[in-house]
Amino acid sequence: MNNPVSLPLDSLHKEMGGHITDFHGFLLPVRFSSITAERQSVRDCAGLFDISHMGRFVIKGKGAAAAVNHLVTSNLLAVSPGKALYGILSNPSGGAIDDIMAYRFSDDRVDLVVNASNREADKKWIEEHLPKGVSLEDLSPGHVGFALQGPKSAEIVALVESGAPELSRRGALLLPVSGGDILISRTGYTGEDGWEFFGPAEQVSRIYRQICSVGAPFGLKPCGLGARDLLRLEMGYPLYGQELTPETTPFDAGLGFAVSSKKGDFIGRNLLLDEQGNPIHYEDHRLLVGFSVQGRGIPRTDCAISSASTGKVTGTVTSGGYSPAAGGGFGLAYVDRPFAEDFALGAPAYVRIHDQSLPIVFRTRPFVQGGLI
């Protein structure tokens, strides 16, 4: 195992009292104060996350947008230039290589933000599939990325020079600076309004510090990975490696909205459209479901789900946690497809936590609008 990489904001995080952890080979704060308090600040006002571990690629050259469109499940050509799009890099079997954000700036330039753990694999896969004249540039090493998230984000970003308050939801722009450009977009991973910045360390670190200070009077808190994971789980958003793997398709994960049947050919298209049209042939694919726990227990990754009527194990928890809003445990699980339908209709089931079986009930996603809050 290589030594974990220290990111440019690392020393600042330590000054700010961050508790640092090794996340996929990157040293990042898991929390500054308390995970619950940080999560609350994002739901009530604002929070600031270091996301410098995420990868950023620039795909450039004649037909770059069409080339990326061939690699993702969603339709990049249907969004206007200056907009971001969520999509899945699919393998030929429809499984997920990664889930990514694609920022279309023109027919000849698309920026991609990818998961830290998949950066090298993504780069290799994309480069292998780009046509002549289209190239990939990896801007990740040494860059800084951060996310400002929460209902007060618009007010805070308006106070920052080069904050791009004019962006609409999923809008994106490139701000030229010495040493490159800053990718700014009105996007995020928490379900709240927010802005994300990626670019050269010096300039983006300066904006990060500025947001820290102008945001403080609004109640902004620096936040760690703990709050980030809880916030995304409350929204039911997938985390690659847990809800998405090379063996799971977007339909298995409930991400059918990210698969376009109208666009032209793309890698994985045939099997994905077949799964969409003939789900009966895919009964061996498990389906992702949301649930909450009745009683005292917090489900964690790999806890078993069983059917109360048959007593058989029918699924496995992929992500779980404690909802401060609901005062109980909740999570996401892959369950056998026939059982998923019964469970959604109210069939009783259990989750196994520390040698105890606790009843669970089906929940629609996002949890934060599905009855937990």
Applying CB under 8 A, which residues contact other proteins? 19, 22, 30-31, 34-36, 226, 230, 296-298, 300, 321-322, 324, 354
| Least distance from other proteins to the Cβ atom of residue 227, Å | 9
Strand order in the sheet with 5-6: 5-6, 26-31, 19-23
Amino acid at the residue 165: P
| Least distance from other proteins to the Cβ atom of residue 344, Å | 27
| Least distance from other proteins to the Cβ atom of residue 23, Å | 12
Closest CB to other proteins among 180 and 324?
324
Closest CB to other proteins among 162 and 357?
357
DSSP 278: -
| Least distance from other proteins to the Cβ atom of residue 10, Å | 16
Separation CA 337–CA 287 (nearest Å)? 6
Cis amide linkage into residue 366, ω under 30° from 0: yes
Closest CB to other proteins among 132 and 354?
354
Closest CB to other proteins among 32 and 343?
32
What residue ranges in 272-373 does DSSP mark as E strands? 287-293, 304-307, 313-323, 328-335, 349-353, 356-363
Closest CB to other proteins among 226 and 250?
226
Considering only the C-alpha atoms of the chain, give the largest distance between any 2 of them, rounded to a whole number of Å. 64
| Least distance from other proteins to the Cβ atom of residue 43, Å | 14
Separation CA 180–CA 178 (nearest Å)? 6
| Least distance from other proteins to the Cβ atom of residue 305, Å | 17
- What's the token pair of residue 154? 């618009």
> CA of 86: how far to CAs of 58, 104, 180, 185, 192, in Å?
16, 11, 24, 13, 16
| Least distance from other proteins to the Cβ atom of residue 21, Å | 8
| Least distance from other proteins to the Cβ atom of residue 322, Å | 5
| Least distance from other proteins to the Cβ atom of residue 139, Å | 30
User: Using an 8 Å Cβ cutoff, are 373 and 327 in contact?
Assistant: no
Separation CA 85–CA 299 (nearest Å)? 32
Separation CA 146–CA 184 (nearest Å)? 10
DSSP 227: H
Closest CB to other proteins among 305 and 353?
353
Closest CB to other proteins among 24 and 206?
24
User: Using an 8 Å Cβ cutoff, are 100 and 57 in contact?
Assistant: no
Closest CB to other proteins among 28 and 65?
28
What residue ranges in the chain does DSSP mark as E strands? 5-6, 19-23, 26-31, 47-50, 55-61, 83-90, 96-106, 109-114, 134-138, 144-149, 172-177, 180-185, 194-199, 221-223, 287-293, 304-307, 313-323, 328-335, 349-353, 356-363
Closest CB to other proteins among 76 and 303?
303
